[in-house]
Structure 1
Amino acid sequence: MNRIIAGIALASASVPAAASEAVSMRFDCPASTTKPSQPPELSGQWDMVMDVGGIPSFGLLSLGVSDKRLAGSIALNAGVAVVRSLTSDGRTVAMIVSTGEGDVRFDGSLASDGRRMCGIVSYHGGQKLGMIAQKRSDRGSRRSE
């Protein structure tokens, strides 16, 4: 138990330094070249990172079905924002996120396995930010430890 606490303390102590240094991030996401026979299951928890001027901004994207549409929330360092909609044809993804300053749009591609999406966030004032999200494994598929 002490090793776990020490590991968490070490990891949290190193995050601010690493998060403040500019890095070169790659947002490659090989998109599916064919439309899948059935749409991938996008509901669930997604780990995400945005490239904000070379500084990684980490967050959690939570998606679920609401009124027959995908919606949810994004939790980032700056706070929580509402995902008003997310649509996908199995190859591309479009997401509208509501913020205090107005809507933000994400346009990207979906990997052929449906577990990674990456693309560009069109922010206020025309700012473009790279973003990638990786779907977490479903709880039912995890091994008990």
Structure 2
Amino acid sequence: MNRIIAGVALATAAVPAAESEATTMRFECRAPITKPIQSTDLSGLWDVVMDVAGVPSFGLLSLGTSGTELGGSLALSAGVVVVRSLSLDGQTVTMIVASREGDVRFDGSLASDGKRMCGIVSYHRGQKFEMIAQKRADRGRGRNQ
């Protein structure tokens, strides 16, 4: 019985240390090509992960169109921010989101299939973090339409 209690105490003492360790994440993006394989519709839901000094920050990017403009919101663990602008020039993606401290910029590239964005998030104080967004499958398409 003492061995079981000692084992449980040791395991619970080790868990917090493991949780706080930085993780090495790989943000491998292929070099953008000049022309996408498919037409590019960025509207929809995107799963996001950002490497904040070795600690993953997960979120959800929701994009839609209003007239001819793309807009939406980005929800991360720190809160929800508004997408002020999003532009696509070939495979180059630029997104500006609002935050309490000022605008935050994402400069990245879009995969040739239009379903993955990868790039750098630049914060107001010069901090830069890698980010990847993966588009979710559209549930409404392909169902008896």
Q: Do both share a fold (TM > 0.5)?
A: yes
Greater helix content: 1
Residue equivalent to 2:35: 35
How far off its partner does 1:34 sit? 2.5
Distance in 2 between the 1:104 and 1:24 partners? 24
Distance in 2 between the 1:46 and 1:19 partners? 26
Amino acid in the other structure paired with 2:123: Y
Q: Secondary structure of the residue that 1:59 maps to in structure 2?
A: strand
Q: Secondary structure of the residue that 1:45 maps to in structure 2?
A: strand
CA gap 1:32/1:102 in 2 versus in 1, 3 angstroms: same
Given the two structures, how large is their TM-score scaled by the length of structure 2?
Answer: 0.80
Q: Where does 1:77-92 land on structure 2 (aligned, <5 Å)?
A: 77-92=77-92
Please, what is the CA RMSD of the aligned residues? 2.3
What is the aligned-residue identity percentage? Answer: 71
Given the two structures, how large is their TM-score scaled by the length of structure 1?
Answer: 0.80
CA gap 1:73/1:20 in 2 versus in 1, 3 angstroms: farther
- Extract unaligned runs of 5+ from structure 1: 1-15
Counting matched residue pairs gives 128
Q: Compare 102-111 and 62-71 and name the one that shifted more.
A: 62-71
Q: Where does 1:1-145 land on structure 2 (aligned, <5 Å)?
A: 20-36=20-36, 39-141=39-141
- Extract unaligned runs of 5+ from structure 2: 1-15
The list of structure 1 runs, each at least 4 consecutive aligned residues, that deviate by more than 6 angstroms after superposition, is 16-19
